[in-house]
Amino acid sequence: MLDNPGKPLVSVRDLKMHFPIYSGLLRRRVGEVKAVDGLTFDVMEGETLGLVGESGCGKSTAGRAVLRLYDITGGQIAIDGREIGDTPQSQLREMRPTMQMVFQDPYTALNPRLTVLHALVEPLLYHQPQLKRQNAIDQAMAQLLAVGSDAALAQRCPHQLSGGQRQRINIARALMVQPEFIVADEPLSALDVSIQAQILNLLAELQHQQQLTYLIFSHNLAAVEHMADRVAVMYRGVIVETGDVAQILGAPKHEYTRSLIAAVPRADTKLERFTSVDYIEGTTNNFKRIDIQNHWLGETLSPILI
């Protein structure tokens, strides 16, 4: 829930992240992929903003760009009033504790050679080198318990943990440096349905306890509906619609948003034939539905996949 609805903790303006395309023996630049192309949004202090869209629309790239894990192509990013869009990576170290990320794959996000305890202690000692190691260990054990994990997991390596256990460790690691802002990139996608509910409840509980601000990327509309205060819909690198959860999911205005919601499987309806699935082509300002029964499936179309 919002603590201060009038103050944005995160402000993003016209964010662009383009990746060059090289070709030929001399590796000449022949084009670029516009993964994010003019993203603008605010995340209020204490708020959860859900950014939804189909796979490949640029959500993960946007999350990494907001935290400056990439050197962005253009735009402005302000965290708690401080502009970081053009700040050199060498100068971002002091701000890293205030902004952390929970990655999509809980297994690859952990170093396979480190135990859970080592993975939790490492960021704390990196940002607070004056801290005694025993104090860091005590804080790590406390954080391990705070995310609902067993203290016995501290000496295990990632391959000895289940998917839900790994994601809890990832969340604990992000919280070790006491951040204000957390970007969660598809935090449920690699988990079973029963574990997804536990992680959702954990994130909500931690937000309430530690006054966290979340930016959550997902194509799981049910999860976003449960967690978010506001929703932004992303398509081909830009936001096409934004608003309150009830407004966006209950009465969407944009054609792409309606197609995204319509693609969610429902248990109380009969399965439709594949040929009835909606496809969309065109730019963000010029959408056209296509009846794929009358089109060759090899054409370049953008499927709405959930």
118 three-state secondary structure: helix
pLDDT per residue of the chain (306 residues) written in tens, 0 to 9: 455 556 899 999 999 999 999 998 888 999 999 999 999 999 999 999 999 988 888 899 999 999 999 999 999 999 999 999 999 888 898 899 999 999 988 899 999 999 999 999 999 999 999 999 999 999 999 999 999 889 999 999 999 999 889 999 999 999 999 999 999 998 888 788 878 888 888 999 999 999 999 999 988 888 888 889 999 999 988 999 999 998 898 888 888 888 888 877 766 555 444 434 445 555 555 555 544 444 333 344 444 433
Instruction: Provide the number of structural domains found in the chain.
Output: 1
CB contact at 8 A, 106 and 188:
no
pLDDT digit string (tens) for 236-254?
Answer: 889 999 999 988 988 888 8
The domain that contains 103 carries what CATH number?
3.40.50.300
Q: What is the DSSP string of 155-193?
A: G--GGGS-HHHHHHHHHHHHHTT--SEEEEESTTTTS-H
Distances (CA, A) of 277 to 22, 56, 297: 35, 18, 12
Q: Residue 116 pairs with which residues in a beta bridge?
A: none
Task: Say if strands 99-102 and 230-235 run parallel, antiparallel, or are unpaired.
Answer: unpaired
Domain region containing 221: 4-303
